[in-house]
């Protein structure tokens, strides 16, 4: 499990957002808050681009409610902890797969118990994505269970909302119901590099770099992928370590 667990706090009241941020800072410093939000629209846009490990979610938001938001998200995989003043939505929250449901004012003991439960669930979930005893393989979850594949056969991985698409060297691809970030740290140990928010590439299948603002790479399957401006310098340094000039 990566050192920093990522979370977001969704609450229509600034005091509510700040209080949860403070509780996390005091009780769970390993959790990093990536963003705060107060509306369905803003949160939906952000969650289509990233998937935090934990979402702290109020029921009533400035432009709708939490269930309006969740109904828009496809196969959302985050742990959801509802923190709200409304007790009548608990059953509905459970139907949406809530990890826990805490009433305001928040009791610190209840909060710690809920977050601990979420962290355990995250650890268990990630255990299905870890490599097998042979580090050259990885287990990918499927509808029926999991499939073991050779890491060397993966050319690249591409984010598709809360899914990840694996492109293999036999011209096949596999879609997995997990976000790309969940695979990034493990595959980085096997010469993979995140060149863009959408693209994680196997450097052993890298073929060519095309100059530009961020630039582009050509892979062994002849796919042409953008390199983000933010990642360009780090990518150039990695290529130099690989002896690419």
Q: Are residues 57 and 157 in the same domain?
A: no
If you average pLDDT over residues 218-243, what whole number do you get? 89
Q: Which residues contact 151 (CB under 8 A, 6 or more apart)?
A: 131, 135, 136, 137, 138, 187, 190, 202
pLDDT in tens, 127-184: 655 544 446 888 888 777 788 899 999 999 999 888 899 999 999 999 998 888 888 8
The two three-digit tokens of residue 238, written as one number: 């990695």
Q: 113 in a domain, yes or no? A: yes
Task: Work out the pLDDT band at 75, boundaries 50, 70, 90.
Answer: low
Q: Is the pTM of this model over 0.75?
A: no
**The domain spanning residue 94 has which CATH number?**
3.40.50.2300
Q: 32 in a domain, yes or no? A: yes
DSSP assignment, residue 152?
G
Residue 145's domain spans which residues?
Answer: 137-241
Confidence (pLDDT) at 132: 46
From 127, 155, 185, the end of a domain falls on 127
Q: 237 in a domain, yes or no? A: yes
From 127, 156, 186, the end of a domain falls on 127
The two three-digit tokens of residue 208, written as one number: 């060519």
Number of separate domains in the chain: 2
């Amino acid at each position: 499990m990566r050192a920093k667990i990522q979370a977001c706090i969704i609450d229509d009241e600034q005091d509510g957002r700040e209080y949860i941020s403070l509780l996390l800072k005091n009780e769970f410093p390993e959790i990093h808050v990536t963003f705060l939000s107060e509306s369905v629209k803003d949160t939906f846009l952000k969650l289509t681009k990233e998937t935090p490990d934990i979402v702290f979610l109020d029921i009533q938001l400035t432009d709708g409610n939490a269930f309006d938001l969740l109904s828009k998200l496809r196969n959302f995989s985050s742990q959801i902890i509802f923190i709200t003043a409304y007790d009548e939505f608990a059953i509905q929250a459970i139907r949406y797969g809530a990890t826990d449901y805490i009433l305001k004012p928040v009791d610190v003991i209840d909060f710690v118990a809920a977050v601990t439960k979420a962290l355990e669930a995250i650890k268990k979930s990630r255990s299905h994505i870890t490599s097998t005893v042979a580090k050259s393989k990885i287990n990918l979850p499927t509808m029926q269970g999991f499939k073991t594949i050779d890491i060397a056969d993966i050319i690249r991985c591409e984010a598709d909302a809360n899914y990840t698409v694996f492109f293999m060297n036999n011209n096949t691809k596999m879609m997995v119901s997990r976000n790309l970030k969940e695979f990034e740290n493990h595959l980085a140990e096997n010469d993979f590099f995140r060149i863009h928010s959408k693209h994680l590439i196997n450097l052993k299948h890298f073929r060519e770099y095309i100059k530009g603002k961020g630039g582009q790479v050509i892979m062994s399957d002849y796919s042409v992928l953008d390199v983000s401006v933010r990642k360009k310098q780090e990518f150039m340094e990695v290529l130099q370590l690989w002896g690419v000039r």
